[in-house]
Amino acid sequence: MHTETREITGDLPLSQNAAVVLKRRYLKKDEQGEPTEAAPDMFRRVAETIAKIDLLYDPDADITATAKKFYDLMASLAFMPNSPTLMNAGRELGQLSACFVLPVEDSIDSIFEAIKHTAMIHKSGGGTGFSFSRIRPENDPVMSTKGVASGPISFMNIFDVATETIKQGGTRRGANMGLLRVDHPDIEKFITCKNDTKKLTNFNISVGLTDAFMEAVKADKTFALVNPRNGREVQRVRAADLFDLIVKSAWATGEPGVIFLDAINRDNPLPHLGQIEATNPCGEQPLLPYESCNLGSLNLGKVADDGSINYTRLKDMVHTAVHFLDNVIDANNFPLESIAANTKANRKIGLGVMGFADLLLKLGIPYNSEDAVQTAEEVMAFIDKEAKAASAALAVKRGNFPSYPGSKYDGNGFGRMRNATVTTIAPTGTISIIAGASSGIEPLFAVSYIRRVLEGTELVEVHPYFEEIARRRGFYSPELMRALASTGSIRDFKEIPKDIRRLFVTAHEVSPVWHAKIQAAFQKHTDNAVSKTVNFPNQATVEDVRQVYLMAYDMGLKGVTIYRDGSRESQVLNIGGKPDAKAKELHYIEPRPRPETTVGVTRLITTGCGKLYVTVNQDDLGFCEVFAQMGKTGGCASSQIESTGRLISLALRSGVKIESIIKQITGIRCPSPIWQNGKQVLSCPDAIAQVLARVAEVDTPKVADAMGLCPDCGSTMEHESGCLVCKSCGFSKCS
């Protein structure tokens, strides 16, 4: 192992990838940005901070023994709390929660109070969810000003700008969930508000569907849209048409997701406190206004024991984790007093899992099988039962959660309960990298893949259990592992035994129906909700998506997020309209001649290949040509640069917008990236894009948005659990 990696991991069984993520995002650093602790120090810091809470309930508590239990659970990679707890426990910030929900009422005061509170939460490392359903629709009268309302989408843009402005110290980025009820008059505009993928980039959006709406869809009936200001019906729409618009938009861009509000509120443990209207950014944590939740995940790969599940070990892990998460509530330095009060009154925790795909592999069960569905149900039923038992045991010592009277537990034979909820299946993007586990309940994304580090080095990453089997059964070779990394899949490699190809199935080889079945199996035994992405191949149809949404409702899911492979990489046009027959005809474009006179500017930009001089010229019709030349002449690089300039010039004189050209060549990466003036230059084409953007006075798109690449390290992003995650450095679009 690399010396620097050993300095980070200490004597713990952490991968090089985990070391990169820990160094970048979790470990304490000095003023020069260098780590002042290693992974064992971090786990010890967290364990000791959380264990001390026992003294609040028992002055004679043996917190040294408790801290050791907590440390061993994390250091063995059997459990990880949510990222803010790992980052902030025992440090000055002390904010330990990942998810929050804030209310947004129909008044300017409430809206801007929510924006202020959002900024405070994001600054502390949390993500926020909102329902905008109470805001009156666009063009509705505003009596106080005699004007008209601008509607919820306009205010979402203000939240988005505020989020973009808050920089969370380079460790976690602000993320939001925006939800609108399906019966809101502005629902059509909301459904399509992210079809332009450059807008609302700090929001996930979901439509809040009701049972009444879904039954109207099935019966092909009309459905009332209601003004939230006065409760009056504004118009009636064909429910199936509105549902089709949701489906088409999700097919095209992956958004909006859907949340089944009535299903959520049927399981609301605190109906006496109000209806749940919103969730956290990835949709797995429904919360009341000014609530937060502390999450943690068990690594199921650690309980596979000679082809079976070690339930004795799993029970011990569950009870220790529930104790840990309940302590986190009291150790937390909440960003708002109202959040502290509500969280301590309800004491919701969310114990979930990661490594489910790893568990199936060790049990010899393919992900897309009935055996996998049965295993999901059995293991989550056990976790939920034991988590409730652990919560009840804590309640005997510490008391029920204060809001217990009137809750679903009160008088229903539960007796004692320390926490209003105990289980949640959350995304585990970065913590699963630390634990060396497959993410959440997702299938493997790839059996083997190329990881690119900042210096341009390429490393072949192979799933450790696959490598173990390959060596044991005699088909391992470095050449084969690299060949697999080019596709991520082993399906078409005949030199690999058929039973192994059947077992190591990857996300895009699992049909959407199996994705939904696995999600439903976990949801049956989860208090809160399940964060998961239902993956579709690029060639999937709109009808395929529609059927999964209907199936999700019938299965009792609380929400569903889909992603069709490659859908966000293309421009989305006219989702709600009918195709133009003329669009089917092929028209060739002749570029206009080069003008005799142009004016322009030449700029110098440094690349990993050397100094690059970029000239951008325009005439009275606009930008028309680009020349680029290296400071040193000759060689393949210079010829490639010249051809890039010629093709850009041809595109400009053919009427292609300069913004479209910038988007296409931004993020192209070569083995020699370089930093200039605080910004990374990934390659010569990327440098040209930066010059074009500066000359044209437009923004360069974020690499993650433009090319599906990580904006921090340039590696490929993966869609999982309703989010974009980088497995190389731990960047997450949702945190």
Please give the pLDDT value at position 61: 97
pLDDT confidence tier of residue 165, bands split at 50, 70 and 90: confident
Please give the pLDDT value at position 578: 40
Average pLDDT value over all residues in the chain: 89
* The pLDDT of residue 551 is above 70: yes
Q: How many CB atoms lie within 10 A of CB 337?
A: 9
Spatial separation of the C-alpha atoms in residues 197 and 203, rounded to whole Å? 11
Please give the pLDDT value at position 635: 65
DSSP, collapsed to helix, strand or coil, labels residue 654 as: coil
Spatial separation of the C-alpha atoms in residues 499 and 484, rounded to whole Å? 17
**Matching residue, tokens 């808050």:** 166
Spatial separation of the C-alpha atoms in residues 8 and 23, rounded to whole Å? 7
Please give the pLDDT value at position 453: 54
pLDDT confidence tier of residue 588, bands split at 50, 70 and 90: low
Q: Residue type for 311, please?
A: Y
Mean pLDDT of 58-72: 98
Residues labelled catalytic = 280, 282, 284
Distance of CA 131 to the CA centre of its chain: 19
The CA–CA distances, whole Å, from 255 to 127, 200, 207, 535 equal: 18, 12, 9, 13
How is residue 662 written in tokens? 């910038």
pLDDT confidence tier of residue 682, bands split at 50, 70 and 90: confident
The CA–CA distances, whole Å, from 153 to 307, 422, 636 equal: 52, 34, 50
Please give the pLDDT value at position 680: 79
pLDDT for 87-115, tens place per residue? 999 999 999 998 999 999 999 999 999 99
DSSP, collapsed to helix, strand or coil, labels residue 300 as: helix
pLDDT confidence tier of residue 714, bands split at 50, 70 and 90: low
Please give the pLDDT value at position 125: 83
Helices (H), 542-698: 542-554, 635-653, 658-665, 684-696
Residues in CB range of 340: below 8 A, 6 or more apart:
332, 334
Please give the pLDDT value at position 724: 78
Phi, psi of 130 (to 5 degrees): -140, 145
Spatial separation of the C-alpha atoms in residues 703 and 668, rounded to whole Å? 9
Tally the C-alpha atoms within 13 A of residue 109's C-alpha that lie toward its C-beta: 0
* The pLDDT of residue 575 is above 70: no
**Matching residue, tokens 């109470």:** 134
DSSP, collapsed to helix, strand or coil, labels residue 459 as: strand
Mean pLDDT of 586-609: 80
626: left (phi over 0), alpha (psi -120 to 50) or beta: beta
Please give the pLDDT value at position 587: 53
pLDDT confidence tier of residue 166, bands split at 50, 70 and 90: confident
pLDDT for 242-277, tens place per residue? 999 999 999 999 999 999 999 999 999 999 999 999
Please give the pLDDT value at position 429: 85
Helices (H), 532-599: 542-554
Q: How many CB atoms lie within 10 A of CB 418?
A: 25
* The pLDDT of residue 474 is above 60: yes
* The pLDDT of residue 56 is above 50: yes
Phi, psi of 224 (to 5 degrees): -85, 135
Instruction: Give, in degrees to the nearest 5, the angle at Cα 709 between 706 and 711.
Output: 90
pLDDT confidence tier of residue 606, bands split at 50, 70 and 90: confident
Alpha carbon dihedral 57, 58, 59, 63, in 10-degree steps, equals -100
Please give the pLDDT value at position 711: 66
Please give the pLDDT value at position 142: 87
Host H or E run for residue 6 = helix 3-9
pLDDT for 170-208, tens place per residue? 445 678 999 999 999 999 999 999 988 778 989 999 999
Cα dihedral across residues 661, 665, 667, 672: positive or negative: negative
Tally the C-alpha atoms within 13 A of residue 225's C-alpha that lie toward its C-beta: 16
Q: How many CB atoms lie within 10 A of CB 6?
A: 14
